[in-house]
Amino acid sequence: MGSGGADGADAMSARAQGDAEEFANAVLTLLAVSRRTRGRLQPLFHDVTVPQLVLLDAVEACGAEGVAAVAAYTALTQPTVTQQAAALEATGLLVRTSSGDDRRRRILTLTEGGEHLLAAKRRVVADLLSSAWESLDDTEQAVAVPLLRHLAGLIVNLT
């Protein structure tokens, strides 16, 4: 009986390993498609680059926490965020201010123009993805957004 139980556990372990590999392959495929799609979006945005949109999104999400938080959110280095933020500030899309408690800490905030631009570009992307959304049945739609957000959080926390 002991060896039968061990064989069963080994089979479950092998199945779990296979499932984990299938999951990893699916996530890697999604990441690859996402990367390719990001490049295809650029022609839709004549006034801003896709990387700039990613940074504006991050500023909206956590710019009040400072450059380090935006860098962590985007997986960019702090010097890259600082450089890109300066360029976006020059175009009037965001402002950089010093934190009251630490003058070296820079807070990033979208301007009204930055907020409008980000919202408009999100609508462009939503319109582009609407056919994919509509191809999902009701059950898939109910789980799609929470699952994608959860997966994004898991992937961010891998490193």
Q: Residue 128, Cα to own-chain centre: how many angstroms?
A: 17
- Which pTM was predicted? 0.73
| Claim to verify: residue 113 and residue 149 sit in the same structural domain | yes
Same domain, 20 and 58: no
SS (H, E, C) 73-106: HHCCCHHHHHHHHHHHHHCCCEEEEECCCCCCCE
Strands 106-110 and 94-98: antiparallel
Summarised one tens digit per residue, pLDDT across range 46-87 is 888 888 999 999 999 999 999 999 999 888 899 999 999 999
Instruction: Report the amino acid identity of residue 77.
Output: T
Q: 30 with 63, same domain?
A: no
Number of H helices, E strands in the chain: 6, 2
* pLDDT for position 87: 95
Residue 19: domain span? 1-44
Q: Give every residue of the chain whose pLDDT is below 50, as ranges.
A: none
- Reading the block at residue 15, the tokens are 């199945």
pLDDT of residue 5: 61
Q: Are residues 134 and 65 in the same domain?
A: yes
pLDDT score of 80: 93
Structure confidence at residue 33 (pLDDT)? 86
pLDDT of residue 159: 60
Q: What is the pLDDT of residue 62?
A: 95
Judge if 29 and 105 occupy the same domain. Answer: no
Please indicate, yes or no, whether residues 23 and 66 belong to a single structural domain of this protein.
no
* Total domains, the chain: 2
- Together in a domain, 74 and 97: yes
Q: How far apart are CA 39 and CA 76, in angstroms?
A: 18
Residue 16's pLDDT is: 79
Statement to judge: residues 31 and 83 lie in one domain: no
d(CA 119, CA 23): 32
Check whether residue 39 and residue 69 sit in a common domain.
Answer: no
